[in-house]
Amino acid sequence: MQKLNEEIKTGQLKQVYLLYGEEAYLRSQYRDKLKTALLGDGDSMNYHYFEGKDVAVGEVIDLAETMPFLAERRVIILENSNLLAHGGEQLAEYLASPAETAFFVFIEPTVDKRSKLYKAVTAKGRAIEFKAQDESVLKRWILGFLKKENKNITERDLNLFLEKTGTDMENIRKELEKLLCYCMDKDVISAQDIEAICTKQVNNQIFDMINALALKQQKKAMELYYDLLTLKEPPMRILYLITRQFNMLLQVKELKNKGYDANTVGEKVGLAGFIVRKYVAQAAKFKETDLRTALKDCVEAEEAVKTGRMNDVMSVELLIVKYSSMS
């Protein structure tokens, strides 16, 4: 990313860029930065944007071969085309010797590094992966965002905010904007402000549901489930998230039983520091054998739905009833 920033700053730009990885916010930010660096502001005559998997590669190549109008470059951006997974062979061949005035930017969440197009892109230009950002980077970014608005927040409440939003930067940005509007007349953002205005993510709802199961709070677990259904979350996605949560808890419990501390557990299973202790505490409420049985039951519930033996809503209900009743 540092080299990309230098190239944008100095204007020494490559002919082909690939921006990929799970952090969508950074992908879109650098897409726009590259567009401005390559074209300047307001040049729509020499800019072409394609989105989705129905890209006509022949049309793209024809545009690339067309001389730019009163400008040095013709810029072509292809986003979510999936051409770097399959179907990009023709474009890969073209990129071996493209028109000197044609500049390409590819934006993809995932790529196949074995594909001809990926190899062509990296041979002719630069590929930059935008991974999910770690806790320290996110905190610095949030604090910088708040500083511009002359707002302060404690470390504890910053952790609470991240627990609510998760690590997706686009979601964090949206929740920050809501929070700043809500706290317009305040210098310090408090836990009460965060609880009042920030939307709880589905993963947090699932965490609370599993916590209710551990505490045998059947009514609360059911209410959380019905809340998710009201929000149009499909029962099979809820089941998947419950399964993932039980699986994560099992991994955490196994690592704790081996004597690892919370920080090491977080590193091994990919949990941020601001949340790993909550997972350790939740895992401690379950026996390891119960977690293994729960995973088996989740698989069986999914199979029952797929084979038509049970409807999807009831399959999750029965899981909740079972694990909120077990002694």
Asked whether residue 223 falls in the same domain as residue 283, the answer is: yes
What are 282-310's pLDDT values in tens digits? 999 999 999 999 999 999 999 999 999 99
* Per-residue tokens: 264: 């090491």
Give yes or no for residue 145 having a pLDDT over 80. yes
Strands 47-51 and 74-79: parallel
Which CATH number characterizes residue 221's domain?
Answer: 1.20.272.10
Per-residue confidence band for 327, with pLDDT thresholds at 50, 70 and 90: low
Asked whether residue 166 falls in the same domain as residue 93, the answer is: no
Give yes or no for residue 107 having a pLDDT over 90. yes
Which CATH number characterizes residue 48's domain?
Answer: 3.40.50.300
Cα–Cα separations (whole angstroms), residue 187 to 142, 167, 180? 15, 25, 10
Per-residue confidence band for 50, with pLDDT thresholds at 50, 70 and 90: very high
Asked whether residue 159 falls in the same domain as residue 228, the answer is: no
**pLDDT value for 116:** 95
* Torsion of Cα atoms, 320 then 321 then 323 then 327, to 10°: 160
Provide DSSP, 99-143: -TTEEEEEEES---TTSHHHHHHHHHSEEEE-PPPPHHHHHHHHH
- Per the structure, the count of domains in the chain is 3
What are 229-264's pLDDT values in tens digits? 998 899 999 999 999 999 999 999 999 999 999 889
Q: Choose the final residue of a domain: 78, 100, 129.
A: 129
What are 6-34's pLDDT values in tens digits? 999 998 899 999 999 989 999 999 999 99
What are 167-178's pLDDT values in tens digits? 889 999 999 999
Asked whether residue 122 falls in the same domain as residue 169, the answer is: no
Asked whether residue 182 falls in the same domain as residue 206, the answer is: no
Q: What percent of the chain has pLDDT over 70?
A: 99
**pLDDT value for 73:** 92
Residue range 100-120: average pLDDT?
A: 95
Residue 159 lies in domain: 135-197
Per-residue confidence band for 271, with pLDDT thresholds at 50, 70 and 90: confident
pTM more than 0.85: no
Asked whether residue 68 falls in the same domain as residue 121, the answer is: yes
Q: Choose the final residue of a domain: 129, 145, 161.
A: 129
How far is Cα 158 from Cα 164, in angstroms, rounded to an integer?
10
Asked whether residue 111 falls in the same domain as residue 15, the answer is: yes
Give yes or no for residue 186 having a pLDDT over 70. yes
Per-residue confidence band for 273, with pLDDT thresholds at 50, 70 and 90: confident
Helix, strand or coil, per DSSP, at residue 155: helix
Asked whether residue 179 falls in the same domain as residue 239, the answer is: no
How far is Cα 180 from Cα 151, in angstroms, rounded to an integer?
8
Residue range 100-104: average pLDDT?
A: 95
Amino acid at 239: L
Asked whether residue 106 falls in the same domain as residue 212, the answer is: no
* Per-residue tokens: 104: 């390409």
